[in-house]
A and B are shown apart, each in its own frame.
Chain A
Amino acid sequence: MDIQGVIHFMQNYTYYIGAFGLIFIGLFIMLVKRNLIKVILGLSILETGVNLFLVSVGYISKGTAPIFSNASIEGKSMVDPVPQALVLTAIVIGVAVLALALSLAVRLYQHYGTLDLRQIREQRW
């Protein structure tokens, strides 16, 4: 792979690597961590990764904001605005879920006196 290719790759796909990296880290945390707060943090990281991924879907290298006020900018070099709108929504949803999760965690701690998920197993089978 020549240097141009590497540059092209870096310009266009690093975001994806970062995004999926975050997603996997988030999932991994949720898989192995036993503390509820850490699991919620993992969830947050996962969601950040997803959001990053969504933004990168619409990103064009060296693109501009999709505002048609400046006639000199071509439509082709604008980044896609749709994913940004999606991400805004997703962020809002993510925040709501996170807030709910944390508040539930507080209540759970009040009931169990612990946040260790291995011990919070009254509901099973």
Chain B
Amino acid sequence: MSLELLLAAAFGGSLLTYLLGKISSGLRDGFAVFVSVILVAMIAGLYGKIGAVTSYYHFMGLELTLRISPLSWFFAMAVSTLGALSVIFSLSYMRDRERTDFYYLMMLLINASMLGIVFSGDLVSFFIFWEMMSWSTFLLISYNRGSALAAGMKYIVFSIIGSMAMLIGMLSLYAVYQTVNIYMLSNLVSSASPGYLLFLLIVFGTAFAIKNAIMPLHTWLPDAYAEAPSPFTAVLSGMLTRMGVYGFLMIMYVIIGSVQTLNMGYGLLKFNYILAWLGAVTIVIPTFIAMLQNDAKKLLAWHGIGQGGYMVLGIAYGTNLGLAGGIFHTLNHAIYIVLLFMSVAAVQYRTGGERDLNSMGGLIKKMPIAFIGALFGISGLIGLPLTNGFVSKWLIYKTLILNGSPFLAFTALIGTWGTILSVYKFLHNLFLGQLPEKYKDIKKSPVNMQIPIVILSLTILLFGILPGLPLKVINSIIASFGFKSLNVTLWGIVSETGSLNTINLFAAILTGCVIIWLILKTGPKSVSASQENTYAAGASIPEGKYHYTVDFYNPFYRMIKPYLKDFMDIFYFKLAGWTQTLCNIVRKTYTGYVGHYVTYIVLFLAVLIFMQLKWSLW
């Protein structure tokens, strides 16, 4: 199975899906699922076929190549699986919406370009696929109209800035080394001067930091996540944003190489140290901002930023444990954030697009599968033991503590506290508490929504109990970067400084659960009350007006709100305003009066002659 064929199938499949949509929507849906599932199978079949380079095209005298490495296989697998699940999920979510053909075209196109990104063997292909991903994402974010337009604009402006920075870096590499092949560059670049390497890290880092929404370049993300169609938000948050992580890994550990990257700078001003701190800041602030959100998707979006911080922290630290943690966290995050967005989407689907946390509640009985999805999702997000998030966070914490960075570890821990608080609000306001009157007759989510939710929930458990499965692949990634591989068992990690054994955990927790169950069993029977029963000590309550979930965390909210404004967003808006003003001033050059225009011509001539006389240009 060659990579060209894979990409041809991905891109061709997306176009064919669009065309089939013109014939019949059923055919299109079936084909979209077929294509995305086939891709998963194809990529799974590539497991272990590492290192095959195929040159597929010559562009502007450059050889464009595709190459599969452990890293790219890992990302590709995640991309295609989550993509397929989102497409399955979309089937009913998108039914009866307008422009569904367009939606599926873009979904599959984005998937295909992400596969292209991870399989690129050279920077030009990487850039081309990256750009295609950017504009198709823009089109899909804008899909919902209304406030989605502003979100789309914000996204694309940031995205263009990032890709332009990348373009400079890429072409400067080409100008210096006459090649854009990533693996040839990795041999050549190691001998470059530190200044040049820093320049490369900064330009590429800008691009990837924007995509991965590292503070202070994160402001596009909350709006984009909130406004995009929910199944796509899942893809966006799960994998698309994490292309930034892939990019960081590529530039830091593949192109420049671990030795050079980790030696960049001096003392506290080491490049990776600064990046790790940026990651830490990205963990803390967004997590607390998330707590203030009343929009379910925005809440998750801010967590998406915060979790990105963990990944960067892990990667930037640059030890084998940290890298493993960062990469594993990318996967874990993808799984549970997709699950969470799907749960929200399922609720949205039944409630008519409602995302306001203050007006929902008590859906647990009505939509049990969505609840289970949300429960597993937040468990993973918090990092409860026996969920996948626990393992990757454990790896990251361990790295930080082992290497004597207690402050970083502490900030990461604070992030987890904030996460616990805010996701509880999320779960409670959606599923627990009273059921609002208007949702009394709500139905369960459709089967095709339940399937991905169940699969992902099980995966969270699976990777939580058997972390060795993914860690084996991650181990080979780390080894390919030139780090010492970890000693991984199916049940965890063995190391001299402390091992992780999930079986012990599993046994301990199981015992605990049994004990609790026994205690509850022996206690008095609980009385189950109707969900609509809003108890108010006998006072009469106006029907439908009283709802416990309004203003969750209100006192705390009032306390921290002034400190947690998104200052960067405000700054960017100001910047946009200033740009607009500047543009308007510049525009005034063209006054409309011909006399001025004639003056310009005469002045231009005069300046030209003056410059020649003064500086002898020619």
* Residues of A participating in the B interface, judged by any CB pair closer than 8 Å: 27, 30-34, 39, 117-118, 121-125
Contact = CB atoms under 8 A, between A and B. Distances in A.
Interface in B578-595: 587-588, 590-595
A117 B593 contact: yes
Contacts of B599: 31
Contacts of A27: 598, 602
Q: Classify chain B's interface size.
A: 10 to 19
Interface in B543-595: 587-588, 590-595
A124 B594 CA distance: 10
Contacts of A33: 595
For A27, A32, A118, A125, the residue with the greatest tally of chain B CB atoms inside 10 Å of its CB is A125
A31 B603 CA distance: 11
Given A31-B602, A118-B595, A122-B592, 9 more contacts: A30-B598, A31-B595, A31-B598, A31-B599, A39-B594, A117-B593, A121-B591, A123-B592, A124-B590
Contacts of B594: 39, 117
A33 B602 CA distance: 15
A33 B510 CA distance: 95
B595 A117 contact: yes
Nearest to A42: B598
A121 B593 contact: yes
Contacts of A122: 592
A121 B602 contact: no
Contacts of A118: 593, 595
Contacts of A39: 594
A107 B519 CA distance: 98
A30 B597 CA distance: 10
11 contacts: A31-B598, A31-B602, A33-B595, A117-B593, A117-B595, A118-B593, A122-B592, A124-B591, A124-B592, A125-B587, A125-B591
Interface of B is mostly: helix
Nearest to A123: B592
In the A-B complex, the 8 residue pairs with the closest CB atoms: A124-B592, A121-B592, A125-B587, A30-B598, A117-B594, A31-B598, A125-B590, A118-B593
Nearest to B592: A124
A118 to B, nearest CB: 6
A34 B595 contact: yes
A125 B602 CA distance: 21
For B587, B588, B593, B602, the residue with the greatest tally of chain A CB atoms inside 10 Å of its CB is B593
Nearest to A30: B598
Interface string B419-434: 0000000000000000
Interface in B593-618: 593-595, 598-599, 602
A44 to B, nearest CB: 15
Nearest to B591: A124
A124 B591 CA distance: 6
Nearest to A33: B595
Nearest to B589: A125
Nearest to A119: B593
Contacts of B588: 125
A24 B319 CA distance: 75
Contacts of B591: 121, 124-125
B342 to A, nearest CB: 49
A27 B602 CA distance: 8
A121 B592 CA distance: 5
A40 to B, nearest CB: 11
B596 to A, nearest CB: 10
B291 to A, nearest CB: 47
Contacts of B592: 121-125
Contacts of B598: 27, 30-31
A109 to B, nearest CB: 15
B395 to A, nearest CB: 58
A34 B590 CA distance: 17
A53 to B, nearest CB: 16
A121 to B, nearest CB: 3
B557 to A, nearest CB: 46
B595 A32 contact: yes
A106 to B, nearest CB: 17
Contacts of A30: 595, 598
B276 to A, nearest CB: 49
Contacts of B602: 27, 31
Contacts of B595: 30-34, 117-118
A34 B592 CA distance: 13
Contacts of A124: 590-593
A42 to B, nearest CB: 9
Contacts of A34: 595
A39 B594 CA distance: 10
B55 to A, nearest CB: 51
Nearest to B605: A27
A124 B587 CA distance: 9
A100 to B, nearest CB: 16
